[in-house]
Chain A
Amino acid sequence: ETGVTQSPTHLIKTRGQQVTLRCSSQSGHNTVSWYQQALGQGPQFIFQYYREEENGRGNFPPRFSGLQFPNYSSELNVNALELDDSALYLCASSLEGTGPKGVFFGSGTQLSVL
């Protein structure tokens, strides 16, 4: 149990809809990152937030956006859903300065786009 919780665990949406995924960081962690993992693939880095600011982004279009709140919890928003957005979305939290040593992953949200 890592202390990083994600909700919901499963979600079904239709193409064109919008979705919000939520992540509660491990206590004391001020950095959160989001990943997309398609079936049979490794996780792909979407973006990272530190102290409510985006401070790193992977190769994802602007319809993928995020927020980090003062309590360091986070949201991932995806607009205009496409079939290829179907994937497991993983959230990871860490304390800035600890590097990957202190990265803890949640169990993910399985998103299906029909």
Chain B
Amino acid sequence: KQEVTQIPAALSVPEGENLVLNCSFTDSAIYNLQWFRQDPGKGLTSLLLIQSSQREQTSGRLNASLDKSSGRSTLYIAASQPGDSATYLCAVWGALVTFGKGTKLSVIP
């Protein structure tokens, strides 16, 4: 059974800092890994999708990497802004999709 772990559970940083969110998974037989953003009480917004054959994806200030062999992915956020405050979820797509519990990010002005 796939298990997805996200560390840290919560993170508070001052505006402008670069930060890294971590996601690990136990079964490397995955098709894709996807990072989502969730604002309180809202649905999920897709940020980046990494195919299993890829090593990284970039979108604006966001960069996600994938190391299937070690079962790890990181989401790098450059020059953080207060608007980045949200919960970030990692989802692993195999036979079924498995989500982590998320990292709650607070960016302090």
Of residues 15 through 68 on chain B, the ones whose CB sits less than 8 Å from some CB of chain A are 31-32, 34, 36, 41-46, 49
> Given A99-B31, A99-B32, A100-B32, is A40 in contact with B43 using a C-beta cutoff of 8 Å?
no
User: Across the two chains, which residue of chain A brings its CB closest to B91?
Assistant: A100
Evaluate contact between B101 and A105: CB separation under 8 angstroms: no
Stretch at the interface among A13-21, A42-50, A66-74, A76-84: A42-50
Evaluate contact between B43 and A103: CB separation under 8 angstroms: no
Give the number of residue pairs across the A-B interface with Cβ within 8 Å: 54
Evaluate contact between B42 and A108: CB separation under 8 angstroms: yes
Residue from B32, B42, B93, B99 within 8 A of A43 (CB atoms)? B99
Is A8 part of the binding interface, using a Cβ–Cβ cutoff of 8 Å?
no
CB contacts (< 8 Å) of A58 on chain B: these are: 96
Residue from A33, A40, A108, A110 within 8 A of B101 (CB atoms)? A40
> Given A42-B4, A44-B99, is A100 in contact with B43 using a C-beta cutoff of 8 Å?
no
Considering residues B4, B31, B45, B96, which has the most beta carbons from chain A within 10 angstroms of its beta carbon? B96
A100–B97 alpha-carbon span in the complex (Å):
9
A2–B42 alpha-carbon span in the complex (Å):
12
Residues of B bordering A, CB below 8 Å = 4, 31-32, 34, 36, 41-46, 49, 89, 91, 93, 96-102
